[in-house]
Amino acid sequence: TTITTTTILDHPAGLFTLFFTEMWERFSYYGMRALLVLFLISETTKGGWGWNRAEALTLYSWYTGLVYLTPILGGYLADRVLGSRRAVVWGGFIIAAGHACMLFNTPVLFYIGLGLIVSGTGLFKPNISTIVGQLYGKDNQALRDSGYTLFYMGVNAGAFFGILLCGYIGENIAWNYGFALAGIFMMMGALQFYFIQDIFGNIGVLTKNKTLIPPDETPHIVADRLKVICVLSFFTIFFWLAYEQAGGSMTIFAASYTDRVLAGNSGMVFKVVNSLMSIVPTLILSWVLMKLVMISVKRYLFSSLLLLACFTIIWGLLIWMLQRDFSHDQSSIPASWFGVLPAFFIVILAPLFSTLWEKYWQPSGPIKFAVGLILLGLGFAVLAYGALGIPSGASTASVSMAFLVLAYLLHTMGELCISPVGLSYISKLAPSRLLGLMFGVWFINAAIANKLAGSLGSYIDYISTTYSLASFFLIFATIPITAGLIVLLLNKWMLKNMHGVH
Ligand code: GLN
């Protein structure tokens, strides 16, 4: 048997190559993003640009919005000219070049860097997502949902380590080192993909002769399925809108969170939790890594070595970071780390959800979507409840940690019902010649949501002073729950229009 047909945990071995490539790309994206606002608002004496919150949030929302807008171009280019594999390699190197520019800490290069990352992500993100689906046949649709869920674990493993390491280095050493670290891993990830790509056989290569149009892709069926893609993407806007709201505003508040300095016992507890947090995902990932390396080491020596090198550097950095902190009797939580909890939950929960979709519960896609939206709303209901006692004008930071953790848990469970499932449904519903473009369409929901979240976020101060913080959260409980109920009502209609996809 060739390696293409080898499976790990029931899935094609190629999935894990994509898992790690996407992991390094997301490492760079989330690692840099965690620092961006903090860097911009930090005083010039501390190496920042001394912007005010509103200015920083505006740039942040443009950046996080544009990153998800360019995939429509990148997807189209891959469909027509490049093929998805070449698009992934180019995209990866362009992103790495973007981070490299940010090392130099001058405004011009900084903006050029952001531009390169935005363009590179457009080439990278939709096209790596299409390759995942192509590893699976048409018959076992549940396995594909489960595969995308594992892939999504890679997304969040990247976010987790990126926020942890780039965040720490950026805040405690120098901002531009944090930015540059993001680029190093992107570079290694792109190289690793480049050297292993024949694991995918013909997948992701543009062929000269027109690919045969599958028999079930009549114009009528294609049109119906496109409608479903649009409806699902539309409702996902509400998901990310609320979701990003929680993340974005939390980081800002965290920056001014006065209890971030931990001493004595609580410092100790923090350190133990902190070590556990780094160890658990690392163990899970090492196990997958071992399996992958064991089957691929002979044929893909260089790629395996790169992967091992990446992990060695990560482990080295984690150990260095923990020791550096342990040597003080006081430690302070880097503000950037407030965003790490969702990623942590996803890494832990993704294998469970992947098994759930594969073996135990197979409702239709729209039902999963509805459940996801409702879970997100419930998360905000928890936050609203937690914020009930807070007088108007006080900051989010006074919401007890327990409520935040519970809310994030509900949010990430919701995310697992929507985000990876959405990718899987795009890959099942999109006409085969427009796969990349359709993934581009899917990511537009995130572009719109990120841009809107930025504008809405600036109202948080206004609403929480005029009314209360609880009412702010209540708005974000109502929106997704309503959207979820509507999706539930649309389930039958969508099933009909999906023509056999479920
Ligand atoms: N966490 C997901 C990712 O980074 C979110 C993407 C999206 O659709 N908004 O891939």
Question: Does the C-beta of 451 come closer than 6 Å to ligand 1?
Answer: no
Note the pLDDT of residue 455. Answer: 73
- The pTM (predicted TM-score) of the whole model is 0.89
Note the pLDDT of residue 331. Answer: 65
Ligand 1 atom closest to the Cα of residue 29 is 4
Quote the tokens at residue 353.
């959800």
Note the pLDDT of residue 217. Answer: 81
Q: What is the pLDDT of residues 189-239, one digit of tens each?
A: 999 899 888 888 888 888 766 666 777 788 899 999 999 999 999 999 999
Q: Which residues contact 455 (CB under 8 A, 6 or more apart)?
A: 61
Nearest 5°: the CA angle 155, 40, 46 is 115
Residue owning the nearest CA to atom 7 of ligand 1: 446
Question: Does the C-beta of 125 come closer than 6 Å to ligand 1?
Answer: no
Q: What is the pLDDT of residues 446-483, one digit of tens each?
A: 999 888 877 776 676 677 677 777 888 898 899 999 99
Question: Does the C-beta of 70 come closer than 6 Å to ligand 1?
Answer: no
**Residue at 290: amino acid letter:** M
Single out the residue of 441, 478, 390 nearest to residue 130, CA to CA: 441
C-alpha distance across the termini of the chain, in Å = 31
The parts of the chain modelled with pLDDT lower than 70 are 1-5, 208-212, 247-278, 280-281, 292, 294-298, 326-332, 389-401, 457-458, 460-461, 464
Number of helices (H), then strands (E), in the chain: 16, 4
Spatial distance between the Cα atoms of 304 and 315, rounded to a whole number of angstroms:
17
Decide: 122 and 482 in contact? Cβ < 8 Å: no
**Element (DSSP H or E) covering residue 421:** helix 401-429
Q: Which residues contact 170 (CB under 8 A, 6 or more apart)?
A: 34, 35, 38, 39, 177, 178, 179, 336
Ligand 1 atom closest to the Cα of residue 346 is 1
**Element (DSSP H or E) covering residue 179:** helix 175-196
Residue 135 DSSP class: T
Give 450-501 as a DSSP string: HHHHHHHHTTHHHHHHHS-HHHHHHHHHHHHHHHHHHHHHHHHHHHHHHTT-
Mutate to test the pocket of ligand 1, among 155, 156, 241, 376 (most ligand atoms within 8 A of CB): 155
Question: Does the C-beta of 26 come closer than 6 Å to ligand 1?
Answer: yes
Note the pLDDT of residue 358. Answer: 85
Quote the tokens at residue 279.
């160890």
Main-chain phi, psi angles of 212, to 5 degrees: -65, 135
Spatial distance between the Cα atoms of 242 and 453, rounded to a whole number of angstroms:
7
**Residue 49 Cα distances to 115, 316, 344, 438, angstroms:** 19, 31, 30, 38
Question: Does the C-beta of 425 come closer than 6 Å to ligand 1?
Answer: no
Residue owning the nearest CA to atom 4 of ligand 1: 155
DSSP-derived 3-state class of residue 234:
helix
State the complex-level ipTM. 0.96
What angle in degrees, to the nearest 10, is found between the helix axes of 14-41 and 219-255?
40
Residue with tokens 């280095």: 169
Decide: 169 and 180 in contact? Cβ < 8 Å: no
Mutate to test the pocket of ligand 1, among 124, 161, 419 (most ligand atoms within 8 A of CB): 419
The maximal CA–CA distance of the chain, rounded, in angstroms, is: 69
Decide: 501 and 383 in contact? Cβ < 8 Å: no
Question: Does the C-beta of 148 come closer than 6 Å to ligand 1?
Answer: no
